[in-house]
């Protein structure tokens, strides 16, 4: 009973949030520029939750998340350009294409590299990010439409806020249901103690690959949405530095906290823009500020800002639990 | 014969942990492997449940060789391993830990039945069902580990040092529970340093010394053996 009430409250909350944001957009408080940033924040939420499943919940350290966002963006972009005469259907199809491409590549890459542990896995995923980045930089030599270092243009744009909002809400629900499913618990078990997971019948290899594939597919969705939000796709948007941004969102938010990832993703996206406004001509120094934020948070709260917390409506019936703070490896 | 281990060889690098040991466990028995630190007891259990690589020998369960299977397949055959040091998942609740134990099962009603069963056997776990596993005391964690092992509804339960780090009263309680689990039809292979307690609940025992079985027989016989008394029961021969 209690739980149902919470879920209903959460749904009401989502609708209220939508109305508020929509009102802000209609009244012009959030101008077209900030709308794009808002969409971008929601894209971050989706991609961030993908990495949260991979690293936060399953403990598989990935330094190449942006590569999968990039694969999603470029594949969806190409599809949308090719099928632009189908209008919204072409765009919707492109989202599916982005999810599938990133998911399949994630699976294929995951099978060989997920044998590696922590730091080594980080290096392998980092390497993969460089491969994808260089591939995109030189993509025009194979496919002129992809533009290479010049970037890809011509993807039909739809900055309709609803698309991003609905996608983000769906992904939050999906992530919640996954994390608290039997397979989600298997992921947590793998993160905490592989032997414990193994003796109850969990296959570490299969579970890691499953989590990695789901996480990469979500990165693909983030990328697919991204290509419709910005008229110009550039390999630099999917470089190693962008992977670090995703990592920051997940670690700063608190490993193993969905709400933490969501809030931090939105906060981070807006912070980047806010710094642009506040710092003005000193914008080049923004890196110093991110770094300071990171250092301070890790010293003061090594478990992340929301580590050890979870929004109550994101925790289903079985044994009400708050995640214990996890300090990353 | 339920479990048959033949000439098991295990190496850690250049160090030979097991020197071709052989033993068997019959259906309905409690069999114990006793021995001091480093004798190879844990290695033996880990070899059976495939957490270790085996370098020689054969393991047969219910007439089928299981030597080359992966750990997550072994559980599905009906062998449940309660590992040394409990290996509770600290970030999951007691209830979730128990449900993890039923990971290989899909019969909802049966799982619920097993859960009730574990709760009647360990009322303390029921009280703490919603608490995180990591917040339990050592004894409670051991109960949780055994309960999780039972949730798989095993035919053979492998218990690795269930008495480790527990107070004498709790040790009695745990062994009492082991005995009752066995009476209800689960075969048990028990690894223990506490030879005194182990030989009280077990039907038969094997004494391991630096990777070799040096003695075996019914518990009563081992309890009366001078060597065993001197080395493991703390008595002067």
- Decide if A321 is inside a domain: no
Give a yes or no: residue A322 inside a domain: no
Domain assignment present for residue A325? The answer is no
**What does the pLDDT read at residue A329?**
45
Tokens matching residue B212: 């070799």
| A233 and A84, same domain (yes or no) | yes
Looking at residue B229, what is its pLDDT? Answer: 85
Q: What is the pLDDT of residue A320?
A: 46
Q: What is the DSSP letter of A233?
A: E
> In the β-sheet with B56-61, what is the strand arrangement from edge to edge?
B15-25, B3-12, B56-61, B64-65
Q: Is residue A319 domain-resident? A: no
Least CB–CB distance from B148: residue in A186, A200, A321: A200
Contact B91 A201 (CB under 8 A): no
Per the domain annotation, does A320 fall within a domain?
no
Based on the fold, state whether residues A125 and A186 are members of the same structural domain: yes
In the prediction, which pLDDT does B235 show?
A: 64
A17 and A146 in a single domain? The answer is: no
pLDDT at A323: 54
The answer to whether residues A39 and A111 belong to one domain is yes
Taking an 8 Å cut-off on Cβ atoms, the answer to whether B100 and A200 are in contact is yes
A284 with A198, same domain?
yes
Same domain, A26 and A123: no
Residues of chain A with pLDDT under 50: 1, 318-320, 329
> SS3 for chain B, per residue?
CCEEEEEEEEEECCEEEEEEEEEEECCCCEEEEECCCCCCHHHHHHHHCCCCCCCEEEEEECCEECCCCCHHHHHHHCEEEECCCCCCCCCCEHHHHHHHHCCCCCCHHHHHHHHHHHHHHCHHHHHCCCCEHHHCCHHHHHHHHHHHHHHCCCCEEEEECCCCCCCHHHHHHHHHHHHHHHHCCCEEEEEECCHHHHHHHCCEEEEEECCEEEEEEEHHHHHHCHHHHHHCCCCCC
In a domain, A47, yes or no: yes
Helix (H) or strand (E) holding A305: none
Give the pLDDT confidence score for residue A238 in this predicted structure: 95
| B81 closest CB neighbour out of A197, A199, A318 | A199
A246: in domain:
yes
Q: Let me know whether A26 and A39 are in one domain.
A: no
Question: CB-CB: which of A189, A256, A320 is closest to B89?
Answer: A189
Distance in angstroms (rounded) separating the CA atoms of residues A109 and A309: 32
CB atoms within 10 A of CB A185: 23
Please give chain B's pLDDT, 237 residues, in tens: 899 999 999 999 899 999 999 999 999 999 999 998 889 999 999 999 999 999 999 999 999 999 989 999 999 999 999 999 888 998 889 999 999 999 999 999 999 999 999 999 999 999 999 999 999 998 999 999 999 999 999 999 999 999 988 899 999 999 999 999 999 999 999 999 889 899 999 999 999 999 999 999 999 999 988 888 887 777 654
Same domain, A115 and A260: yes
Q: Which of A58, A189, A200, A315 to mutate to test the interface with B (most CBs of B within 10 A)?
A: A200
Burial code (b: 16+ CB inside 10 Å, e: under 16) for A25-51 equals beeeebeeebbbbbbbbbbbbbbbbbb
Query: What is the predicted pLDDT for the residue at A21?
Result: 92
The Cα–Cα gap between A187 and A195 comes to: 13
pLDDT confidence of residue A319: 45
The pLDDT value given to residue B9:
95
Q: Residue A6's domain spans which residues?
A: 1-30
Task: Encode pLDDT of A203-251 as tens digits.
Answer: 999 999 999 999 999 999 999 999 999 889 999 999 998 999 999 999 9
Same domain, A97 and A212: yes
Count how many domains chain A has.
2
Q: Are B141 and B171 in contact (CB under 8 A)?
A: no
Q: Which CATH number fits the domain that encloses residue A96?
A: 1.10.3470
Q: Are residues A149 and A252 in the same domain?
A: yes
Tell me, yes or no, whether A156 and A196 share the same domain. Answer: yes
Q: Same structural domain for residues A17 and A97?
A: no
């Amino acid at each position: 009973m209690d739980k149902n009430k919470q879920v209903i409250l959460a749904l009401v909350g989502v609708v209220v949030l939508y109305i508020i944001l929509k009102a802000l957009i209609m009244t012009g408080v959030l101008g077209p520029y900030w709308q794009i940033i808002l969409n971008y924040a929601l894209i971050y939420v989706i991609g961030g939750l993908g990495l949260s499943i991979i690293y936060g919940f399953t403990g598989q350290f990935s330094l190449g998340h942006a590569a999968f966002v990039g694969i999603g963006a470029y594949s969806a972009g190409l599809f949308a350009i090719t099928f632009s005469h189908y209008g919204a259907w072409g765009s919707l199809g492109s989202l599916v294409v982005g999810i599938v491409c990133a998911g399949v590549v994630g699976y294929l890459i995951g099978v060989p590299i997920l044998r590696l542990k922590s730091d080594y896995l980080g290096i392998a995923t980092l390497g993969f990010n460089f491969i994808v980045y260089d591939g995109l930089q030189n993509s025009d030599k194979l496919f002129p439409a992809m533009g290479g270092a010049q970037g890809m243009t011509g993807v039909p744009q739809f900055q309709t806020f609803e698309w991003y909002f609905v996608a983000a809400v769906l992904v939050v629900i999906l992530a919640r249901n996954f994390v608290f499913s039997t397979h989600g618990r298997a992921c947590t078990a793998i993160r905490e103690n592989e032997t414990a997971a193994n003796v109850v019948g969990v296959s570490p290899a299969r579970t890691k690959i499953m989590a990695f594939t789901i996480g990469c597919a979500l990165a693909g969705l983030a990328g697919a949405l991204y290509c419709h939000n910005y008229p110009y796709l550039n390999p630099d948007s999917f470089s190693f530095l962008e992977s670090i941004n995703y990592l920051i969102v997940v670690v700063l938010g608190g490993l193993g906290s969905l709400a933490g990832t969501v809030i931090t993703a939105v906060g981070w996206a807006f912070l980047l823009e806010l710094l642009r406004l506040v710092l003005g001509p000193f914008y080049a120094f923004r890196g110093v500020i991110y770094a300071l934020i990171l250092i301070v948070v890790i010293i003061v709260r090594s478990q992340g800002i929301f580590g050890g917390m979870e929004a109550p409506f994101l925790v289903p019936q079985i044994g009400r639990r708050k995640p214990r703070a996890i300090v990353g490896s | 014969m339920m479990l048959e281990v033949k000439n098991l060889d295990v190496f850690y690098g250049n160090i030979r942990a097991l020197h071709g040991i052989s033993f068997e466990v019959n259906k309905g028995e409690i069999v114990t492997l006793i021995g001091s630190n480093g004798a190879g007891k844990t290695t033996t259990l880990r070899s059976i449940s495939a957490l270790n690589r085996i370098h020689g020998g054969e393991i047969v369960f219910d007439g089928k060789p299981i030597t080359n299977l992966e750990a997550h397949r072994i559980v599905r055959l009906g062998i449940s391993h309660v590992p040394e040091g409990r290996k509770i998942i600290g970030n999951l609740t007691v209830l979730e830990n128990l449900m993890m134990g039923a990971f290989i099962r899909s019969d909802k009603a049966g799982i619920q039945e097993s859960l009730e069963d574990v709760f009647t056997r360990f009322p303390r776990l029921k009280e703490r069902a919603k608490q995180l596993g990591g917040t339990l005391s050592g004894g409670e964690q051991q109960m949780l580990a055994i309960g999780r092992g039972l949730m798989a509804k095993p035919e053979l339960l492998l218990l690795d040092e269930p008495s480790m780090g527990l107070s004498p009263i709790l040790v009695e309680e745990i062994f009492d529970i082991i005995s009752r689990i066995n009476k209800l039809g689960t075969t048990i292979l028990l690894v223990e340093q506490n030879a005194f307690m182990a030989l009280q609940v077990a039907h038969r025992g094997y004494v391991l010394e630096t990777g070799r079985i040096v003695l075996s027989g019914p518990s009563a016989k081992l309890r009366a053996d001078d060597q065993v008394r001197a080395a493991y029961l703390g008595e002067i021969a």
